[in-house]
Amino acid sequence: MENHPNHNKEDHNPYEDEEWDFESEEEEDDGGSSATRRKWIRNTIIFLLVAALVGNILAFWPQIYNMKTLPLLFKSKELSSQAKIQSYKEAVVLVSTDNGKGTGFHINGGYIVTNYHVIEDNGYIIVKFPEHSQSYKAELSGSDPDLDIAILKVDIGNQQLPFIEMERNQKQWEPGDPINVIGNPLFFTQIAIEGAVIGLVPIQGRQQPALALDAPIYGGNSGSPVINEHGKAIAVVYATTDISHQDQMMRAGLAVPVADFESLLLKLLPPEED
């Protein structure tokens, strides 16, 4: 049975500033009562502004901290105490456009792998290395829209920035293999999760099957590297879907195996030495 994926690009959800227009009123010169009235108006305005601010915060808070995100944050903090996870995080970037944000990762030489739907039809692309507080304007260097893969290029000069090595050999994974995923889900950045490989599943509208993951994948994880126990990226997260696994339905992450876009990598990067 073919599955219908849900892409995990995160759209901007800004809270627009509220404009407060107050028409000036002519006040009668009535001594103390005029001063009292002005003080009352000022206090009322302050109260309304504070109430509006608190209301926005209270409305926004459950979207950030809830029963879904708190375990995610706690687990990420636990995993991030590991040296290997910290090294992966240094190579994972925030990809921002005029329509939203997603994840990408540096594969050396200023090349960034992400999803095509993250950068599609956008006026600008900014790549930020959160662990280094460095941002760069990115250009599209190559893409495969059918696979939902894009490779960006940023000018890093002579800098030697951290990168994640790609596992470019065919099918270097088995069902049940442990994996880590680093990304920018929901309203957060540099979130580390762990999970396991399920296997290849057919997806409606795609010629190639996707790699299904038993891992908590959310909006904003698009473009996240799927890293094996040897520290190499074996796939790129692009969506989630419901699949049947071990006689029950479950929510699974979907990723594009690196081997599927090896031909694109060969055009941009020299082949790896054995």
The set of residues, in sequence order, having a beta carbon less than 8 Å from that of 117 and lying 6+ positions away, is 7, 9, 148, 222, 238
Alpha helix locations (H) across the chain?
32-64, 69-79, 83-89, 116-119, 262-268
Catalytic residue among 214, 222, 224, 260: 222
* Integer CA distances (angstroms), 259 to 163, 167, 172, in order: 18, 8, 9
Give the contacts of 38 (CB within 8 A, at least 6 positions apart). 27
Q: Which listed residue (148, 214, 224, 260) is catalytic? A: 148
Residue 260 is among the residues annotated as catalytic for this protein: no
Residue 148 a catalytic site member: yes
Annotated active-site residue in 117, 143, 214, 260: 117
Q: Are 178 and 150 in contact (CB under 8 A)?
A: no
Active site residue 117: yes
**Cβ atoms of residues 233 and 165 within 8 Å:** yes
Please give the positions annotated as active site: 117, 148, 222
